Structure 1
Amino acid sequence: MPSCCSASTTPVPTPARRPLAPAIAPMPPELVDAVTRWVRLLDDPRDIGPLAPGIEAEILYRLLRGPIGPTLRQWAVPDSAVARVRAAARWILAHYAEPLTVDAIAAVAHMSPATPHRHFKAATGMSPLRFQKRLRLQEARRLLLAGDTTATEAARRVGYLSPTQFNREYRGVYGLPPGRDAARVREAVAVTPPPRRPRRRSA
């Protein structure tokens, strides 16, 4: 991203006092066109190597020029509060099944113990503990959908000590208890036909 930031006409911002949280905005036609061309590379894998890097650079460039550009630029500023939050998020991703402490996050983010929670929530929209919980539940759901583990075993593998707490939090996110949710998703996938790929027109 830094190279695209430097190529854009708008300068890279200095670190903000308050990180910019993730944003959502409509896709302009130019960005839709670039993303469409990128997806169509799947029609012929031989085109991916030569063409994908240029299209991906165009997509990033148009994102930076769009309404969420300031947010993306702030994420690219080296040694900013957001960059430190990003390092903490990576660490949580690698250790999501382990107990999470404020001191550990502060050490990874190079912050005092009093500041990571505020910066993390400002940058990601959720607290470190909530972020860890989402990671645990996503991995548990993946294990359940694979069909090779029980809900109790999935809870243990992602770091839950209490199956009751796991069931409660899983239902709070996905709307159903673990077993019923996995069965519903597998059934939906089984009855949904795969999307038809468009035929390439011969020259």
Structure 2
Amino acid sequence: MKLDDEGQQLQRELAAYIEKYTGKDGTHSTYIPDLHFIRASKETEPIHSIHEPALCVVAQGTKLMMLAKESYLYDSSSYLVVSMHLPVSGQVVEATSERPYLCLRLDFDKQQIFDLIKQCDKTPKKPTHSQRALFVSKMNRSLLDAIVRLVRLLDTPEDIPVIAPLITQEILYRILQEEQGQSIKQFAMSGSHAERIAKVVQLIERDFNQPLPIDMLAAAVNISPSSLHHHFKEITAMSPLQYQKQVRLQEARRLLLSETIGAADAGFQVGYESPSQFNREYARMFGMPPVRDIKRLRDSLGLVTN
């Protein structure tokens, strides 16, 4: 469902601001610390990353986000929220030089949500079940209006320190009031399964190159292995082992791209004992073996191969 005329005018204004403060393709920081702009003048290949908690709003173009085997398509009629660190791949699927893909990302953290929940609900209830930590929802004019007011502050940077936190709080408040807001709230609830899963994710990201048996992870957050597996998959769409594997392979790819290191050494550094297993799982995730993949990446990025 399209926004009304006023909403469409806000979308055009948002696109104009992103063009004004980017000018070229890539991800751009702004004077507002948690606000970033992304521009792409052509469709892209899937880009793998560990996505931080954030709101993503497309002003122009279309993007496809993949979480495990699930796909999430969003454009200017919708917005995407990631409420916990998640290994994803993102691909711009609609963009041209005349109408580039224009997007903003507003990062947020657990403390902001916790403080907001305390103000809105004096006795918040623990969620009865875990929800996926990523969702796409329809854009509404009230949320879009707050987003555009935040972006307008870039024209008056002296106002940012005082007013930006207030508008950011309003934006988060409006998302929390939506039907899928529980996907964010659950991580700020002390003792909830989501809070425990977030702690397990921190352990995996810290010690990804070490063996991490599910019994050990479950004991660390005081739940049963079966409960951990169930809630972890509800929230992340993957098992703890699959999550660890994605973190390992993304780190290996980063090492191969940024350092003069061989595939076998990269595999060992991220925790693989078998080079053949590393090559096989790398190719399954990125579409080709490490050496070919890195050469293709270097060529596409214009990097010199030693």
Query: TM-score range with shorter-chain normalisation?
Result: 0.7 to 0.9
**Which structure carries more relative contact order (alpha carbon 8 Å, separation 6+)?**
1
Which of 144, 150, 171 aligns to 2:256? It is: 144
Compared with structure 1, are the counterparts of its residues 37 and 154 closer, same or farther at alpha carbon in structure 2 (3 Å cutoff)?
farther
CA contact (8 A) 1:96 1:159 kept: yes
Displacement of 1:127: 0.4
Q: Which residue of 1 aligns with 2:231?
A: 119
Task: Provide the rounded CA distance (Å) in 1 between the counterparts of 2:284 and 2:221.
Answer: 30
Partner of 1:19: 130
Per-residue deviation, 1:36:
5.2
1:5 alignment partner in structure 2: 117
> Runs of 5+ in structure 2 lacking a partner?
1-112
CA RMSD of aligned residues (A): 2.7
TM-score computed with the length of structure 1 as normaliser: 0.80
Distance 1:19 1:174, change over 3 A: same
User: What is the alpha-carbon distance in structure 2 between the residues aligned to residue 94 and residue 169 of structure 1?
Assistant: 21
Number of the residue aligned with 2:73: none
- After the TM superposition, which of the residue ranges 53-62 and 26-35 deviates more from structure 2? 26-35
> 1 or 2, which has the higher helix percentage?
1
What is the CA-CA distance between 1:14 and the residue it aligns to?
2.1
Aligned to 1:105: 217
**Structure 1: runs of 5 or more not aligned:** 192-203
2:253 and 2:127 mapped to 1: Cα distance? 37
Which string of whole-angstrom CA distances, capped at 9 and with x for unpartnered residues, describes residues 93-151 of structure 1? Answer: 11100001122111112112332111211121110000100110111111112132221
- Greater strand fraction, Structure 1 or Structure 2: 2
Residues 178-197 of structure 1: matches in 2 within 5 Å? 178-190=290-302
Query: Equivalents in 1 of 2:248, 2:291: separation in Å?
Result: 16
SS of the aligned residue for 1:114 comes to: helix
> Which whole-Å CA distance do the structure 1 matches of 2:145 and 2:263 have between them?
43
The structure-2 alpha-carbon separation of the partners of 1:133 and 1:43, relative to structure 1 and needing over 3 Å to count, comes to: farther
TM-score normalised by the chain length of structure 2: 0.55
User: Quick one: distance in 2 between partners of 1:136 and 1:79?
Assistant: 29
How many residue pairs get aligned? The number is: 190
- Bigger CA drift: 37-46 or 111-120? 37-46
**Judging changes above 3 Å, is the alpha-carbon distance between structure 1 residues 119 and 34 closer, same or farther for their aligned structure 2 residues?**
same
Partner of 2:268: 156
